[in-house]
Amino acid sequence: MNAIHPQYITDIDGKKVSVILPLAEFEQIMEELDELEDIRLYDEAKADKEPAMSFDDFVKQRFSK
């Protein structure tokens, strides 16, 4: 990830309440979060202990009822 250049919006007491980012940086963050979600889902599926089933077997099982 490249450097982030946030700008802060503060309240009357000087407390940071919001952040403004350049659009390109925001889009990069969103892409990386999406990629991390994909990795998490992959790891979760990989850890699943159910045996794998071929697509053909799934279709047969699903539509044989």
52 or 65: which leads in pLDDT: 52
Report yes or no on 57 lying in a domain.
no
Number of domains, the chain: 1
The pLDDT of residue 65 is 63
| CA–CA dist 34, 45 (Å, integer) | 17
Q: What is the pLDDT of residues 6-63, one digit of tens each?
A: 999 999 999 999 999 999 999 999 999 999 999 999 898 888 777 778 889 888 888 8
Residue with tokens 């979060």: 33
7 belongs to a structural domain:
yes
Instruction: Give pLDDT, residue 51.
Output: 77
Give a yes or no: residue 61 inside a domain: no
Quote the domain boundaries for residue 16. 1-48
Q: Is the pTM of this model over 0.75?
A: no
Residue 16 DSSP SS3:
strand
- List Cβ neighbours of 17 (8 Å cut-off, separation of 6 or more): 9, 10, 11
Asked if the structure places residue 59 within a domain, the reply is no
Residue 44 has what pLDDT? 87
